[in-house]
Amino acid sequence: MSTATHCPYCALQCAMHVEPGPDGAPAARPAEFPTNRGGLCRKGWTSAELLSSPERITRPLLRTDRTGAFTETDWDTALDHVAAKLADLRAAHGPDAVAVFGSGSLTNEKSYLLGKFARLALGTSQIDYNGRFCMSSAAAAGNRAFGLDRGMGFPLPDVASAEVVLLAGANPAETMPPMMGHLTAPRLIVVDPRRSATAAYALEHGGLHLAPRPGTDAALALGLLHAARTQHLLDEDYICARTTGFEAAWRYAAAFWPEQTEQVTGVPVHRIREAARLLGTAGGAYVLTGRGSEQHATGTDTVSAWINLALALGLPGREGSGYGCITGQGNGQGGREHGQKADQLPGYRRIDDPAARTHVAGVWGVEPEELPGPGRSAYELLDALGTEDGPRAMLLLGSNPAVSAPGTERVRNRLSALELLVTCDFVMSETAAMSDVVLPVAQWAEEEGTMTNLEGRLLRRRAVLSAPAGVRTDLEVLSSLATRLGQPAERFPDRPDAVLAELGRASAGGGADYSGVTPERLEQGEEVFWPAADAAASTPRMFLDAFAHPDGRARFAAVGHRGAAEEPDADYPLYATTGRMMGHYQSGAQTRRIGELAAAEPEAYVEVHPDTGARAGLEEGDWARVVSRRGATLARIRHRADARADTVFLPFHFGGAQAANNLTNPVLDPTSRMPEFKVSAVRLEHADTAPTATPGGG
C-alpha cells in the first residue's frame, strides 16, 4: 500500500509516496507537489531506508554510570527514573536547574508541546533549540524590516517567473536540488566565497558568481546598493510610499563605492556594477539569503543589508518580486513560531510581552505569573550546562549538538558535566551516546503531525507504518513525563490533532496565527499558508497591501560592515568556512547510516586550492589536520583549482575527530545570538594517522 507524505529532511518538504519496495522494506518515490514538482534528491530517494535500519533503538536505555554500558529497561522504569531525577534537581536547585533543547525538525505539535512542557511541567526558562544555529539572524532581520518573519513571503513557484534571482550564501544545487527546477528561467547571481555547484550552474547559464572574501557579505550588499543608486536604478516611488529609514541606511552604503567594495571584498568593480544593473533593470527579481550570509557574528546586520538592497529596488511585497530567506531544517519555519525558543511563546509572541503572557496563560489554564521569563539562547545554554549557576540536567529532542554546535569540544565537555542528560532519538547519535538515558522515539513515517515549509505552507505528515514495538512518540514521552511531574493528564495531550487544536487557540491573534489550520483542510489538499486566522483564511503572499509594522511601512536598517570576528594571521593563515554537501544532512546522524549515502561520501574532506595544499605539503587524498584556536579536525584533501587560495571549505556532517565544528567560533551575533559558523582562522598540517570511523560509518 502506498501512502502520501513528505520527506523528513529539508524545508522544501518534498512530497513523496512511501510503499513496500521489491524486498518488502519501505521505499520512497516522488510525488507531484509545488516545491519539488515530482522530483527528489538523493537523500529523499533513500530516506525510507532508515525506517528498517538495524541500528534502530527500540527499547529505553539507562545507565547510572556514564562511563559504563547502557542497559535496556522498560518504559516505566526509565520514565520514573528521569522524572525522579528532574524533580530532585528542581527541588534542590530551582526550576532553571533543568534545561530543554529542541529542534527545527520537530513537528509543529511537538515544538508547541515541548515549549509548554518546559514552562509548565518543569517551570524552567532554560529552553532553546538548534534552529538558533540556522535561521535566527534572518528571522531577526525580517522582523526588523517587515514587522514579521516568514522566511519566504511567497510560494516558491513564483520565483520561476522572475528574470533575475540573487542567491546570497545559498547552494540549493547541493542542499535542495529540487529547488533548482524553479531557477532555470531566471538569470542567477550567486554570492559565495566558494565555487559551489549553484555558482557553477549560474556561470554555465549566463549568470554571475560573486566570490567575496569570507565575512564580507555585508560590504558587498552595501556596494551593490551604492552601485544601484549611482546607476539610477532605485525605485524612488516605492521607497517613498512603502518604507522608512532609507537616508540613515544610505549613510552606510555611501562609503561603499564599487572600488572601495572591491578593496574589502575582492569582488571586481565591473561585476558589482553588472550585478546591480541586472537586478535593477529586471522585470521581476528576488533576493534570497541562506546560511552563508546568516551564520556570522554580524549575521543580522548582514541579512539586513541584503534586505535594504531589496527594499531600495522595490522588491518585497510585490507580486513577481521579493525578498526571502531559504529555510534549512524541515520545520525550521514552524519550529521557531510556537515556543521552543528562549524568548518566545506560541504564535510568534514574545515571552516578555504582558499581553502575550496573558493570552497563552489563559489557554494553558494558569496565571501569567506562573510562566518563566526568557532564558539563555542555544549556545549560551549549552555553554552553561553543568556550571555553578547553569542547568544540571537537560532533556534533548531531535538534535545532536555534540556534532552540530560550534566549538564542539567545549560543548561535549559541558554535556559531560551534566548530572542527567536525557536524549529522545531513534539511532545512537553522538549526543545520545553521551547520555544517561536514551528514550526510543518514532521516526517521521511512523507518526502524524504538521510541518511548515520554507514558504510558510502547512503540510500534513502522515503515518505510513507502525513504529517498532517498544517505541513511543515524542508527544507520548512529554505527556508521560508531565504527569509524573504532577501535571494533570489533560494538560498534555499525546494525540497530534488535539495538540494542533490547542496550538491554534494559543497562536490565535499572534503573528503566526494557526487558528484556522485543521487536519481536515490539509487532508483535503487545500493550500494553507499562515497566517490563517479562520477556516477560510490562507496567506500565500505576504505584505502585498502593507507590512506588519503599525504604520504599514517596511524599515530600512542603518547597518554597516564589521567583518569577521577572527581574521587569519601568521599562526592561522587561512579562512575556513563550513557548509553542506548533497549526500548528507545536518549532523549526519541519519544519512551516515544509509548505505548508499555513506558509500558515496564516507568521510570528511577539506577543499583546498592546489597551491595552498602544496605550501602545506599536502597532496590530493592526503589526510590533513585542520587546526583553529578552538580545536582540530581530520579531513581528506580535495584540491579545487577554482577555490580561493586563502580559504578552505569543510562539510559539517561528520562527528568525532572529523567534526568541522571542532574549528568554529562560538562568538555570537548580539541580536540573534547566532554563532559565527562561517568564518574561522585555521592552518593545515599533515595528519600522522587517519581517523577512526564515526557512528554510522562517517
DSSP string covering 363-398? HHTS-GGGS------HHHHHHHTTSTTS-SEEEEES
pLDDT digits (tens, 9 = 90+) for 347-406: 999 999 999 999 999 999 999 999 999 999 999 999 999 999 999 999 999 999 999 999
- Asked if 626 and 659 sit in the same domain, the reply is yes
Residue 544 lies in a domain: no
pLDDT digits (tens, 9 = 90+) for 398-453: 999 999 999 999 999 999 999 999 999 999 999 999 999 999 999 999 999 999 99
Are 663 and 410 a contacting pair, CB within 8 Å?
Answer: no
- Classify residue 560 by burial, with Cβ atoms within 10 Å: 0-12, 13-18, 19+: middle
Region for 365 from its dihedrals, namely left if φ exceeds 0, alpha if ψ lies in -120 to 50, beta otherwise: left
Residue 670 lies in a domain: yes
Q: Name residue 647's beta-bridge partners.
A: 575
CATH classification of the domain holding 626: 2.40.40.20
Q: Cell digits for 446?
A: 511512523
- Asked if 499 and 379 sit in the same domain, the reply is yes
- Asked if 591 and 649 sit in the same domain, the reply is yes
Dmax (CA) for the chain in angstroms is 71
- Asked if 279 and 348 sit in the same domain, the reply is no
pLDDT digits (tens, 9 = 90+) for 80-127: 999 999 999 999 999 999 999 999 999 999 999 999 999 999 999 999
Query: Rg of the chain over CA atoms, in angstroms?
Result: 24
What pLDDT shows up at residue 66? 83
Residues with Cβ < 8 Å from 568, sequence gap 6 or more?
A: 574, 575, 646, 681
Q: Cell digits for 307?
A: 534586505
What pLDDT shows up at residue 693? 58
- The Cα 512–Cα 537 span in angstroms is 13
Would you list the DSSP string of 183-240?
SSSSEEEEE-SS--HHHHHHHHTT-EEE-PPTT-HHHHHHHHHHHHHHTT-S-HHHHH
How many separate domains does the chain show? 4
Are 137 and 108 a contacting pair, CB within 8 Å?
Answer: no
Residue 407 lies in a domain: yes
Are 178 and 37 a contacting pair, CB within 8 Å?
Answer: yes
Name residues of the chain where pLDDT drops below 70: 693-698
Would you list the DSSP string of 307-354?
HHHHHHTT-TTBTTBEEEE---BTTTTGGGTSS-STTEETTTEETT-H
- The Cα 511–Cα 388 span in angstroms is 37
- For 291, the 3-state DSSP assignment is helix
Q: Name residue 286's beta-bridge partners.
A: 165, 322
Are 651 and 659 a contacting pair, CB within 8 Å?
Answer: no
- For 424, the 3-state DSSP assignment is strand
- For 573, the 3-state DSSP assignment is coil
Q: Name residue 322's beta-bridge partners.
A: 286
Which element (helix H / strand E) includes 50?
Answer: none
- For 462, the 3-state DSSP assignment is coil
- What single DSSP character describes residue 121? I
Q: Cell digits for 300?
A: 543580522
- Asked if 290 and 388 sit in the same domain, the reply is no
- Asked if 585 and 686 sit in the same domain, the reply is yes
- The Cα 647–Cα 568 span in angstroms is 10
CATH classification of the domain holding 474: 3.40.50.740
Residue 636 lies in a domain: yes
Could you give phi then psi for residue 369, rounded to 5 degrees? -65, -20
- Asked if 281 and 358 sit in the same domain, the reply is no
Q: Pick the last residue of a domain from 511, 541, 562.
A: 511
What pLDDT shows up at residue 697? 39
Question: Can you give the residue range of the structural domain that contains 142?
Answer: 136-326
Q: Which amino acid is at 211?
A: A
What pLDDT shows up at residue 351? 97
- The Cα 551–Cα 248 span in angstroms is 18
What pLDDT shows up at residue 694? 54
Residue 37 lies in a domain: yes
- Asked if 241 and 384 sit in the same domain, the reply is no
